[in-house]
């Protein structure tokens, strides 16, 4: 992806996604939470390359483009489903992809994209329901057709929002690639009620969600970045919310 009125590339990256289960504990704020692998499905994402985060390379200033990104890794008992796509202001998509793979108790360490165990599909129509006055997704449906014409629909219901600003994304001080010295440790604490839908730092979100596919239920996340005018969802400004 290139900046709106510039030849400068702002997205040119590779993404790696891993499915599994979590086990162990998380300790924060004096409280310890135990994680049971029998009930805690997990996804882990790594991506690298030219990104829209971190310190930008010097260049001629460019107008910010409309930016629409939706990404949903989903874990069911018998299969994992992954779909995601970028879209332009007019709703046209680029870098759209979808993938299904059966779960296994002894999965291969590495799987090539052309492996026959993987089922590829192109994401089709999508419908998003937002929290009124915001761009925060409340529910979503993603549809597609697999080879042979089989129609499928992934239903997503957000249970809670995880603000990615806490991991450095778009953070004014702790952004990716910003040198902090040899060692610096800080923490931020905020309440859900402190998050503002009109604040650009509060609109890169991972929705922890319940997923439905056919008659089965699973768990996953829906990542969303919806900035600028996006005609598909009726957005006209930088961060105007759903009516």
| Confidence band for 183, pLDDT divided at 50, 70 and 90 | very high
The pLDDT assigned to 224 comes to 97
How many CB atoms lie under 10 A from the CB of residue 19? 19
Residue 5 pLDDT > 60: no
How many CB atoms lie under 10 A from the CB of residue 112? 9
The pLDDT assigned to 94 comes to 85
| Confidence band for 116, pLDDT divided at 50, 70 and 90 | confident
Residue 38, CA distances (Å) to 32, 35, 45 in order: 18, 9, 21
Contact between 237 and 227 under an 8 Å Cβ cutoff? The reply is no
pLDDT in tens, 138-163: 999 999 998 878 899 999 999 999 98
pLDDT in tens, 184-216: 988 888 888 888 998 888 999 999 999 999 999
* Whole-prediction pTM: 0.75
The pLDDT assigned to 216 comes to 95
The residues facing 217 across adjacent strands are: 212
Which range has the worst mean pLDDT, 46-55, 162-171, 208-217?
46-55
Task: State the DSSP string of 135-189.
Answer: --EEEEEEEEE-TTS-EEEEEEEEEEEEEGGGGTTT-TTT-TT----S-------
Query: What b-and-e string marks burial along 41-61, b requiring 16 or more CB atoms within 10 Å of the CB?
Result: bbbeeeeeeeebeeeeeeeee
Contact between 4 and 62 under an 8 Å Cβ cutoff? The reply is yes
The pLDDT assigned to 146 comes to 86
Residue 25 pLDDT > 70: yes
Q: Per the structure block, which two tokens stand in for 30?
A: 């004096």
Coil vs helix vs strand at 203: coil
Q: Per the structure block, which two tokens stand in for 130?
A: 């937002």
pLDDT in tens, 56-111: 566 665 555 688 999 999 999 999 999 999 999 999 998 899 999 998 888 777 77
Residue 115 pLDDT > 90: no
State the average pLDDT over residues 112-129: 86
Q: CB under 8 Å to 91, separation ≥6 — which residues? A: 230, 231, 232
| Confidence band for 36, pLDDT divided at 50, 70 and 90 | very high
């Amino acid at each position: 992806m290139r900046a709106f009125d510039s030849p400068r590339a702002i997205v040119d990256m590779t993404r790696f996604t891993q499915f599994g289960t979590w086990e162990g504990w998380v300790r924060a704020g004096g409280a310890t939470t135990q994680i049971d692998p029998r009930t805690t499905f997990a996804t882990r994402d790594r991506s690298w390359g030219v990104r829209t985060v971190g310190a930008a390379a010097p260049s001629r200033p460019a107008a910010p483009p409309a930016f629409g990104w939706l990404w949903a890794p989903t874990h069911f008992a018998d299969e994992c489903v992954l779909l995601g796509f970028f879209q332009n202001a007019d709703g046209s998509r680029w870098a759209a992809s979808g993938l299904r793979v059966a779960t296994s108790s002894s999965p291969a360490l590495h799987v090539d994209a052309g492996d026959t165990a993987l089922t590829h599909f192109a994401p089709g129509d999508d419908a998003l329901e937002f929290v009124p006055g915001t761009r925060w997704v409340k529910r979503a449906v993603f549809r597609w057709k697999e080879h042979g014409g089989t129609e499928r629909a992934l239903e997503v219901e957000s249970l809670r929002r995880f603000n990615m600003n806490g991991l450095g994304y778009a953070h004014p001080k702790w952004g990716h690639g910003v040198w902090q010295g040899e060692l610096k440790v800080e923490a931020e604490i905020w309440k859900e009620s402190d998050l503002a839908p009109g604040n650009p730092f509060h609109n890169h979100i991972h929705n922890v969600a319940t997923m439905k596919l056919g008659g089965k239920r699973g768990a996953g996340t829906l990542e969303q970045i919806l900035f600028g005018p996006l005609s598909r969802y009726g957005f006209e400004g930088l961060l105007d919310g759903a009516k």
